[in-house]
């Protein structure tokens, strides 16, 4: 099979992903083998490729928004058949025994593994995934449309839950990239008032077209205090801007696996029982709930496509802000 392999991190301009030929995959016990049709390109992949996110396995095939068909089923797997369409997101499996797993919070398991970080991912013609972490995909989505939902969509959905926002509430979205494009659609479906902060005038216009009641820059205070906010930009200063916009008792959910840093800020921004919470991965229940909800709304995606051998180009475009919606590798 053909794949894109990261042997060592480096600037994306130096093209650290290498096209390679590898043996076809064979599923181990508890795994599915997939023939990959599409894989989304995420900022986390960029952070891994450039070394901002420390690698756990090298060499590694990145990719954690993988859509494919089951071509083989490993020993002990039940509930899956060859030919079914499966998705593999960031969450790649957990121990199933610890207190977090038993409480349905496997995203917090200390032994959790992640596709494209601990396990080879979807920047390849084939991949393997743990069957208990794979998501059965409804046929209502095309492969290209389904891929971005498996990371930005599901993580954005979890961020909404962590923020505690309710119908009729006032929600801020700080940063308006691929994940926020999907998250705003769920929030508006729930009857939430959405306020968007982004540096891009183009993104502000798009937010208004999607139903945001206000769109401004990070330095612009929203016209009314917010009940909750989600930050998508991997910049700590944006977290402080969101905190500054909160009403008393509000929550900022930080939707990032890596931030540069959070600068010092005065305590009065946190006082009055405001909360600052991180969003860590997602659970299988999150994925199942979100994919069903996305089909019901239905959530619409905006996709820029790249060939598998253009993975470095896709990451470079993502870094430079040249991706219109979500970048997806067509395998």
- Determine what percent of the chain is predicted with pLDDT higher than 90: 93
Residue 286 lies inside a defined structural domain of this protein = no
Residues 203 and 160 in one domain: yes
Residues 195 and 102 in one domain: no
Spatial distance between the Cα atoms of 202 and 205, rounded to a whole number of angstroms: 5
Residues 56 and 126 in one domain: yes
**DSSP codes of every residue in 258-303:** --S------GGGTTTT-EEEE-----HHHHHHHHHHHHHTT----E
Give the residue carrying structure tokens 């475009």: 317
Please report, for residues 64, 177, 191, 306, the alpha-carbon distance to residue 321 in angstroms, rounded to integers and kept in the order given.
Answer: 20, 9, 30, 15
- Determine what percent of the chain is predicted with pLDDT higher than 70: 100
CATH code: domain of residue 228: 3.40.50.720
Residue 139 backbone dihedrals phi, psi, to 5 degrees = -80, 0
Residues 223 and 163 in one domain: yes
For residue 140, what pLDDT is reported? 79
Residue 82, pLDDT above cutoff 90: yes
For residue 291, what pLDDT is reported? 93
Strands 170-174, 193-197: pairing is: parallel
Spatial distance between the Cα atoms of 110 and 180, rounded to a whole number of angstroms: 28
Residue 256 lies inside a defined structural domain of this protein = yes
Residues 166 and 48 in one domain: no
pLDDT band at 139 (very low <50, low <70, confident <90, very high): confident
Total number of domains in the chain: 2
Residue 290 lies inside a defined structural domain of this protein = no
For residue 245, what pLDDT is reported? 98
- The domain of 14 spans 2-140+298-330
Residue 289 lies inside a defined structural domain of this protein = no
Spatial distance between the Cα atoms of 131 and 74, rounded to a whole number of angstroms: 9
pLDDT band at 138 (very low <50, low <70, confident <90, very high): confident
Residues 218 and 316 in one domain: no
| The pair of three-digit structure tokens given for residue 193, joined into one six-digit string | 């008032």
pLDDT in tens, 18-45: 999 999 999 999 999 999 999 999 999 9
Residues 48 and 174 in one domain: no
Residue 147 lies inside a defined structural domain of this protein = no
pLDDT in tens, 159-216: 999 999 999 999 999 999 889 999 999 999 999 999 999 999 999 999 999 999 999 9
Residue 291 lies inside a defined structural domain of this protein = no
Residues 129 and 172 in one domain: no
pLDDT in tens, 110-123: 999 999 999 999 99
| The pair of three-digit structure tokens given for residue 189, joined into one six-digit string | 């479906």
Residue 39 lies inside a defined structural domain of this protein = yes
CATH code: domain of residue 72: 3.90.180.10
Residues 243 and 311 in one domain: no
Residues 160 and 269 in one domain: yes
């Amino acid at each position: 099979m053909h794949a894109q392999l990261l042997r060592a991190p480096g600037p994306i301009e130096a093209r650290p992903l290498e096209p390679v030929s590898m043996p076809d995959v064979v599923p181990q016990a508890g795994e599915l083998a997939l023939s990959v049709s599409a894989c989304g390109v995420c900022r986390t992949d960029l952070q891994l490729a450039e070394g901002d996110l420390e690698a756990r396995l090298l060499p590694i095939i990145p990719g954690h928004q993988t859509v494919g068909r089951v071509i083989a089923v490993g020993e002990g797997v039940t509930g899956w058949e060859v030919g079914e369409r499966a998705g593999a997101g960031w969450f790649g499996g957990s121990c199933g025994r610890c207190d977090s797993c038993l409480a349905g919070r496997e995203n917090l398991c200390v032994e959790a593994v992640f596709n494209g970080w601990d396990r080879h991912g979807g920047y390849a013609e084939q991949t393997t995934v743990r069957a208990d972490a794979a998501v059965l995909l409804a046929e209502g989505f095309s492969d290209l449309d389904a891929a971005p939902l498996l990371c930005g969509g599901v993580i954005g959905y979890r961020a909404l839950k962590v923020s505690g926002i309710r119908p009729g509430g006032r929600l801020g979205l700080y940063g308006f990239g691929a994940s926020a494009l999907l998250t705003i659609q769920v929030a508006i479906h729930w009857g939430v008032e959405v306020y968007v902060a982004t540096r891009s005038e183009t993104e502000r216009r798009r937010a208004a077209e999607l139903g945001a009641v206000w769109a401004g820059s990070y330095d612009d205070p929203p016209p009314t205090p917010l009940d909750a906010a989600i930050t998508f930009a991997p910049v700590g200063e944006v977290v402080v801007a969101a905190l500054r916009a909160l009403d008393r008792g509000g929550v900022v959910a930080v939707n990032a696996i890596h931030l540069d840093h959070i600068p010092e800020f005065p305590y009065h921004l946190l006082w009055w029982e405001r909360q600052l919470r991180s969003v860590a991965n997602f659970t299988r229940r999150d994925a199942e709930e979100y994919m069903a909800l996305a089909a019901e709304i239905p959530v619409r995606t905006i996709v820029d496509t790249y060939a598998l051998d253009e993975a470095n180009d896709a990451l470079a475009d993502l870094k430079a802000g040249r991706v219109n919606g979500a970048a997806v590798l067509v395998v």
